[in-house]
A and B are shown apart, each in its own frame.
Chain A
Amino acid sequence: MHAMSYARVGDVASALAEGADPDSRFLAGGTTEVDMLRIGVARERRLIDINDLPLNTIEDLPGGGLRLGALARMSDVAATPSVRERFPMLVQALELGASAQLRNMASMGGNMMQRVRCGYFREAGMPCNKREPGSGCAAQGGFHRGHAVLGTSEHCFATHPSDVAVALVALDAVIHLQGRYGERAMPLEDFFLQPGDAPEREHPIEHGELITAIEVPAAPVARTSLYWKVRDRESYEFALVSAAVAATVTNGVIREVRLALGGVATRPWRARAAEQMLTGGPAISDAFEAAASAELAPAVPHPQNAFKIELAKRTIVRVLERVSAA
């Protein structure tokens, strides 16, 4: 790791002023950032520690929504009673992520910005378009069991690793940003870019722009919700496939459904095709299977990750069966 300087800032204005330095990076919980510095993927020479900023609140919004400060810790969000009551899938996605120690450090804003787990991205000297644009993609024809089948391009097909972002995308969350020239907000779904021909660009965020909060609009449907994570070991591993689902079923008919997938796509994947097919239809296995197949129809398999297509379909069916039985 190279030598760097460090600053600890106490308010947003100073963070933005410091962040103007093009050779700087923000440090929140550090659970991604320190790794990136250690393995030489992050090369900036100044760290701006933002942990003292007043952005760690977890607020209930009138009407049943939530506002999560960017520095709220994953463990604190998961432990908040109103979150547990209104958004079970958010809590499950948090608690099935990382480990207890990591969740105590990791912030919500940092979670949105975490980097892919592709081994070639993390190994200096390997061809990787995301790390060294134009150098190629070693995962193609290489080891890619964990890689994505949806939202891929020939330039990159690394999976977006976050769990909680999947649940948030299903909930139509909105992300709030603040830069030197003002504040803006956008649907969280738009905050994650597909690799396309520029896999190095993962978010529509400017250098030095700060995530301040994530807002979750009220969603009564989320009271019956579920986050399901399939992985080789029981804990402390990223998803091979995951699904966040919320549904309201009355008289065997799906009135409203939210579905998003993790572990299979280059970004938290809102399953809109499936949602559309399911809404207003019967809550039966055949319908679940048809919706799952439609969602996975555009999937692009590679030799080692082809199984994820079938696994994702079965996971979708499983979660839909579960929530509609609830």
Chain B
Amino acid sequence: MTTTLIGQPVTRVDGHAKVTGAAKYTAEISLPGMRHAVIAGSEIPAGRITGIDKSRAMAEPGVLAVLTHEDLPKVATQPVLTLSLAGTVAHGQSFFPMQDPVIHYAGQPVAIVVGETLDAATRGAELLDVTYERTESITVIDEGRDRSYVPEKILAGLAPGEMGRGDVAAGLAAAELTVEATFTFSANHQNPLEMSASVASWDDGQLTLWDATHGPTATQMTVASLLGIPASRIRVITRFVGGSFGAKAMIWAHPTLAAMTAQIMHRPIKLALTREQMFTGCGLREDNEQTITLGAAADGRLTAIRHEKLSITSAYDDWAEPALSGSGELYACDNFAAVYHLIKGNTMTPTFMRGPGETAGLAVLECAMDELAERAGLDPVELRVRNHADVDPVSGRPWSSKGLKECYERGAELIGWGDRDPRPGMRRDGDWLIGMGMATAIYPVYPLMNPQRARARLYADGTAVIQTAASDIGTGAATVLTQIAAEGLGLPLEMVRVEYGDTSLPFLAASVGSTGSTAGGNAVHLAATGLREQLVAQAVQDEGSPLHGADPELVDVVDGVMVGPSGSESYGEMLGRNFVPETEYLGTYQHRVDDEHALLNFGAQFAEVAVDAALGVVRVRRMAGVFAPGRVLNQKTARSQLMGGMIWGLSQALLEASHMDPRFGRWANPSLGDYLVPVNADVPEVMVETVEVDDPFINPLGIKGIGEIGMVGMAGAIANAVYNATGRRVRSFPITIESLL
């Protein structure tokens, strides 16, 4: 390969369409004869429906139908929670609504109102008279504390409810220093700008579904299993997605409800969730309590880590965000124990939200490490370096690559860590107390469970098309896939177009858990390089080619021209001469299970905050993040992703909270006016860098993913900076003004 497109800060290929409004999102799809469906959600969190009076709704002009559990078909198979990472069905919960009158959570769909227009359907839903019999509910931890249990497995059976190694009691007994603290986290909702939506259209038993999702293939298989029709009869199209952050990572009820409604109405149907329904329709990050205990020798070396988490799950799934595993992986420590405690409550099954697991768990571990550093009289960075895990503490295997010490070093340099006064409350700037804090970030490198495919096709005019089913949820995937394809084929960027977001293209799993670039990138890389090899092989065998007889190893491709030791010609010339209009290659990437190495993504994050000494207002002044995510595919989109993650961390630390009103079992602030996310004025100078690590083991492209890692350490770093500024350890997130008065 002679070009070096991979890594270049190439501008988004879809940027123009997005800023001009030409990019059509799912809710903007309009089909001839299409009608609008609106979900009416349960007003109670527990109990049953005793009656639904449709008359007022049906009397509203433009309302065409009201469908209830009595009208909707039964699902063909009962859904079972399955992670979208699996690449197959991706049921967000083991429950499908509108099958019977039982209510498990507020907002659960109880009826679908169909209208000529969206307004008519919305009005109809407002006028629907549903009566309920309410029973007792559990929607906050305090209501169910005495009923908690330890699940056998969490995460759809993929992770144990309890884990550990060594002997924590012995480790704590041997400790000269201990830290024990309990932290609480508010519930959070992902709140992407684009609300979830599906458009369903049946034609002769074939279903076409436009769906806002991470994984068109996941929607296809999930809807197929619920409707009981072959996947081959469903085509799912997802062209543009306006963010997700986990809200669209699993497949929830609405695409299937849209398909069922379209079948009943004999019309194409659009079903879009409202902002408020995004709080009860796509999972959430559950509010939780975590207790951590650290034991350490006087020199700061960890002797024991115990980490427990308590949270609410749905009546039918054992869901816990996997917050605890990180505490067992980050530092060298022989004794580790972690336990998830769950309470069955009246919520839908919680789900992924950006940085799932590590984001909440590491905030706790890294705040406790800050306390330990103070007890040990050590600089927080030095404490972490002393506990650096040279090999994976879980498996004992060497890392495929690491780079964490370099991240600490560079991050400290960027933020000016040397200026930090270890004594809290010492730096002042007018009304403001100034402090600095840091934390480590890690994120798993999830294995892909099935073959990931992409097709490369070259036309005789020299242009190429890359096809793969994946969707671009706004990360820049389409752009990096174009770069990878162009580099693999030896073509300039403008000669390559990527087609994506469509199940009629080769299979790709949902892009979740920072695996999108790994799946799509490696499949496209193999497709493009495979096609290039195929074309070169053809040329050296072609008697009419100036490359005839050349050693394929010695042939390079530059701007679509195959250059051999003794002659050259373009792909197009060769294909044209042989009357071949186009030629294709299917690339298949199968994750190779590596028994010799441990895989993990690393970074270090730093923050400088200002806290108004009298008024308790916290403002972040600077953030620095340095990450070692393997090979960087596009410096521009990577920087944006990592920066976005860091801003998410700021938001988690200081702003985001969904408030449950347990009397009603309903969210009290389901709007962007009351669920706060940062505005530009909250976002300070954000410094983002990556350190190069060469990882030959992880996958052909050497990439670890960048979607989540940027967020993971930020909340801990900010909380530690608030302590350094004020001397107050705030142990509830978000950190609010009242906790600092």
Residues of A within 8 A of B (CB): 1-3, 40, 117, 119-120, 122-126, 138, 141-143, 145, 230-237, 240, 307, 310-311, 314-315, 317-318
Kindly report which residue of chain A lies nearest to residue B673, judged by CB atoms. Answer: A117
Task: Evaluate contact between A119 and B614: CB separation under 8 angstroms.
Answer: no
Q: Across the interface, which residues of A come within 8 angstroms of B666, CB to CB?
A: 123
A190 to B591, CA, bound (A): 72
B47 to chain A: closest CB distance in Å? 15
Task: Evaluate contact between A1 and B668: CB separation under 8 angstroms.
Answer: no
With A1-B123, A40-B126, A119-B668 as given contacts, are A307 and B741 in contact (CB-CB < 8 Å)?
Answer: yes
A119 to B672, CA, bound (A): 12
5 A-B pairs with the lowest CB-CB distances in the bound complex, closest first? A143-B668, A307-B738, A234-B681, A235-B681, A314-B614
Q: Across the interface, which residues of A come within 8 angstroms of B61, CB to CB?
A: 3
A296 to chain B: closest CB distance in Å? 14
A53 to B72, CA, bound (A): 52
Task: Evaluate contact between B679 and A240: CB separation under 8 angstroms.
Answer: no
Main secondary structure on chain B at its contact with chain A?
loop
In this assembly, does B207 line the interface, its C-beta being within 8 Å of a C-beta of chain A? no
Query: Which B330-351 residues sit within 8 Å CB-CB of chain A?
Result: none
Q: Across the interface, which residues of B come within 8 angstroms of A143, CB to CB?
A: 659, 661, 668-669
In this assembly, does B617 line the interface, its C-beta being within 8 Å of a C-beta of chain A? yes
Q: Across the interface, which residues of A come within 8 angstroms of B741, CB to CB?
A: 307, 310-311, 314
A312 to B726, CA, bound (A): 20
A33 to chain B: closest CB distance in Å? 16
Kindly report which residue of chain B lies nearest to residue A234, judged by CB atoms. Answer: B681
In this assembly, does B287 line the interface, its C-beta being within 8 Å of a C-beta of chain A? no
Task: Evaluate contact between A235 and B679: CB separation under 8 angstroms.
Answer: yes
Q: Across the interface, which residues of B come within 8 angstroms of A318, CB to CB?
A: 431, 614-615
Q: Which of B615, B664, B671, B679 contacts A236 (CB 8 A)?
A: B679
With A40-B126, A143-B661, A311-B737 as given contacts, are A233 and B615 in contact (CB-CB < 8 Å)?
Answer: no
Task: Evaluate contact between B737 and A307: CB separation under 8 angstroms.
Answer: yes
With A1-B123, A124-B126, A234-B681 as given contacts, are A314 and B615 in contact (CB-CB < 8 Å)?
Answer: yes
B119 to chain A: closest CB distance in Å? 7
Q: Which of A119, A138, A141, A233 contacts B682 (CB 8 A)?
A: A233
Kindly report which residue of chain B lies nearest to residue A306, judged by CB atoms. Answer: B738
* Interface flags, B340-380, vs A, CB<8A=1, else 0: 00000000000000000000000000000000000000000
Q: Which of A120, A123, A232 contacts B654 (CB 8 A)?
A: A232
With A142-B668, A307-B737 as given contacts, are A233 and B43 in contact (CB-CB < 8 Å)?
Answer: no
Q: List 21 A-B contacts (CB under 8 A).
A: A1-B123, A40-B126, A119-B669, A119-B674, A120-B668, A124-B126, A126-B664, A138-B663, A141-B663, A142-B663, A142-B668, A230-B617, A232-B654, A233-B679, A233-B682, A234-B681, A235-B681, A236-B681, A311-B616, A314-B741, A318-B614
Task: Evaluate contact between B737 and A232: CB separation under 8 angstroms.
Answer: yes
Q: Across the interface, which residues of B come within 8 angstroms of A40, CB to CB?
A: 126
Task: Evaluate contact between B682 and A234: CB separation under 8 angstroms.
Answer: yes
B77 to chain A: closest CB distance in Å? 35
A172 to B663, CA, bound (A): 43
Task: Evaluate contact between B655 and A142: CB separation under 8 angstroms.
Answer: no
A126 to B674, CA, bound (A): 17
A130 to chain B: closest CB distance in Å? 16
In this assembly, does B122 line the interface, its C-beta being within 8 Å of a C-beta of chain A? yes
Query: Which B650-683 residues sit within 8 Å CB-CB of chain A?
Result: 654-655, 659, 661, 663-664, 666, 668-669, 671, 673-674, 676, 678-682
A240 to B740, CA, bound (A): 14
Point out which of A124, A126, A143, A317 has the most chain B C-beta atoms below 10 A from its C-beta.
A143
B100 to chain A: closest CB distance in Å? 23
Q: Across the interface, which residues of B come within 8 angstroms of A310, CB to CB?
A: 741
Q: Across the interface, which residues of A come within 8 angstroms of B669, CB to CB?
A: 119, 143
Task: Evaluate contact between A311 and B682: CB separation under 8 angstroms.
Answer: no
Q: Across the interface, which residues of A come within 8 angstroms of B123, CB to CB?
A: 1-3
Kindly report which residue of chain B lies nearest to residue A120, judged by CB atoms. Answer: B668
Q: Across the interface, which residues of A come within 8 angstroms of B678, CB to CB?
A: 233
A138 to B61, CA, bound (A): 33
With A1-B119, A40-B126, A311-B737 as given contacts, are A232 and B663 in contact (CB-CB < 8 Å)?
Answer: no
A314 to B671, CA, bound (A): 30
Chain B interface size, under 10 / 10 to 19 / 20 to 34 / 35 or more: 20 to 34
Kindly report which residue of chain B lies nearest to residue A313, judged by CB atoms. Answer: B614
Q: Across the interface, which residues of B come within 8 angstroms of A145, CB to CB?
A: 659
A240 to chain B: closest CB distance in Å? 7
A117 to B617, CA, bound (A): 22
A240 to B615, CA, bound (A): 11
In this assembly, does B619 line the interface, its C-beta being within 8 Å of a C-beta of chain A? yes
A240 to B617, CA, bound (A): 11
B66 to chain A: closest CB distance in Å? 18
In this assembly, does B736 line the interface, its C-beta being within 8 Å of a C-beta of chain A? yes
Task: Evaluate contact between B668 and A232: CB separation under 8 angstroms.
Answer: no
A318 to B615, CA, bound (A): 9
A41 to chain B: closest CB distance in Å? 12
Query: Which B309-332 residues sit within 8 Å CB-CB of chain A?
Result: none
Task: Evaluate contact between B668 and A311: CB separation under 8 angstroms.
Answer: no
B129 to chain A: closest CB distance in Å? 12
B152 to chain A: closest CB distance in Å? 35
With A143-B661, A307-B737 as given contacts, are A237 and B668 in contact (CB-CB < 8 Å)?
Answer: no
A230 to B618, CA, bound (A): 11
Q: Which of A117, A124, A234 contacts B619 (CB 8 A)?
A: A234
Q: Across the interface, which residues of A come within 8 angstroms of B661, CB to CB?
A: 138, 142-143
Q: Across the interface, which residues of B come within 8 angstroms of A315, CB to CB?
A: 615
* Interface flags, B569-583, vs A, CB<8A=1, else 0: 000000000000000
Query: Which B363-404 residues sit within 8 Å CB-CB of chain A?
Result: none
Query: Which B676-694 residues sit within 8 Å CB-CB of chain A?
Result: 676, 678-682
A233 to B618, CA, bound (A): 9
A311 to B676, CA, bound (A): 20
B295 to chain A: closest CB distance in Å? 36
Q: Which of A122, A123, A233, A235 contacts B655 (CB 8 A)?
A: A233
B653 to chain A: closest CB distance in Å? 12
Point out which of A117, A125, A233 has the most chain B C-beta atoms below 10 A from its C-beta.
A233
Task: Evaluate contact between A317 and B614: CB separation under 8 angstroms.
Answer: yes
Q: Across the interface, which residues of A come within 8 angstroms of B676, CB to CB?
A: 232-233, 237
Q: Across the interface, which residues of B come within 8 angstroms of A317, CB to CB?
A: 614
A56 to chain B: closest CB distance in Å? 27
Kindly report which residue of chain B lies nearest to residue A119, judged by CB atoms. Answer: B668
B431 to chain A: closest CB distance in Å? 8
A186 to B203, CA, bound (A): 67
A246 to B198, CA, bound (A): 55
Q: Across the interface, which residues of B come within 8 angstroms of A138, CB to CB?
A: 661, 663-664
Query: Which B636-661 residues sit within 8 Å CB-CB of chain A?
Result: 654-655, 659, 661
Q: Across the interface, which residues of B come within 8 angstroms of A236, CB to CB?
A: 679, 681
Known pairs A123-B666, A233-B678, A314-B741 / 16 extra A-B pairs, C-beta < 8 Å: A1-B119, A3-B123, A40-B126, A119-B668, A122-B671, A138-B661, A142-B664, A143-B659, A145-B659, A231-B617, A232-B736, A232-B737, A234-B679, A235-B679, A236-B679, A307-B738
A231 to B679, CA, bound (A): 13
* Interface flags, B288-314, vs A, CB<8A=1, else 0: 000000000000000000000000000
A111 to B373, CA, bound (A): 52
Q: Across the interface, which residues of B come within 8 angstroms of A237, CB to CB?
A: 676
Q: Across the interface, which residues of A come within 8 angstroms of B126, CB to CB?
A: 40, 124
Q: Across the interface, which residues of A come within 8 angstroms of B679, CB to CB?
A: 233-236
* Interface flags, B503-541, vs A, CB<8A=1, else 0: 000000000000000000000000000000000000000
A3 to B680, CA, bound (A): 37
Query: Which B599-624 residues sit within 8 Å CB-CB of chain A?
Result: 614-617, 619
B686 to chain A: closest CB distance in Å? 15
Q: Across the interface, which residues of A come within 8 angstroms of B619, CB to CB?
A: 234
Kindly report which residue of chain A lies nearest to residue B654, judged by CB atoms. Answer: A232
A114 to B678, CA, bound (A): 24
A143 to B663, CA, bound (A): 10
Q: Across the interface, which residues of A come within 8 angstroms of B614, CB to CB?
A: 314, 317-318
Q: Which of B615, B680, B681 contacts A311 (CB 8 A)?
A: B615
A3 to B682, CA, bound (A): 40
